[in-house]
Amino acid sequence: MASKNKTQANDADVISFINSIENTRRREDGLALLEIYKQVTGQQPKMWGSSIIGFGRYTYTLASGKQEQFLRSGFSPRKQNLSIYVAAFLSENSTLLDSLGKHKTSKACLYINRLADVDLDILKQIIDQDLTIMDTRYPA
């Protein structure tokens, strides 16, 4: 049976992907986020699917017992907003969100229209805390 998780790591070039973004501000924010993630994670980026930039990976087990892999941390500079994958942080501790600036959230993502709308130091703390929680839940 094929994997249900269609978002897989691949060898597409991260910089080429970001440079292909038409909106100048979104492209610039994507490049800035790339540097933030490299700094916070200490890892190199990898494309996941066609539009997600991931750092690291983890393995989780489905109810069926089958194991899947997904990015440990990452973001996507989507047309509508910057989607920042911090599900572990959002599920455990969202107090930093009060100091972040203009944003929206879902169960798994933090959505930001532009980096200028948020405190980048708080964003770095959120990414770092998310990674700490992921490391506890899914040790390498």
Residues 6+ positions from 39 with CB-CB distance below 8 Å = 124
Q: What is the pLDDT of residue 4?
A: 58
Residues listed for the chain:
140
Which stretch of DSSP H or E encloses residue 128? helix 120-137
Specify whether the CB–CB gap between 127 and 40 falls below 8 A.
yes
Q: Which fold has domain 9-137?
A: Aspartate Aminotransferase, domain 1 (3.90.1150)
Residue range 48-74, pLDDT digits in tens: 999 999 999 999 888 999 998 999 999
According to DSSP, residue 106 is labeled: -
Task: Flag whether the pTM goes above 0.85.
Answer: yes
pLDDT score of 11 more than 50: yes
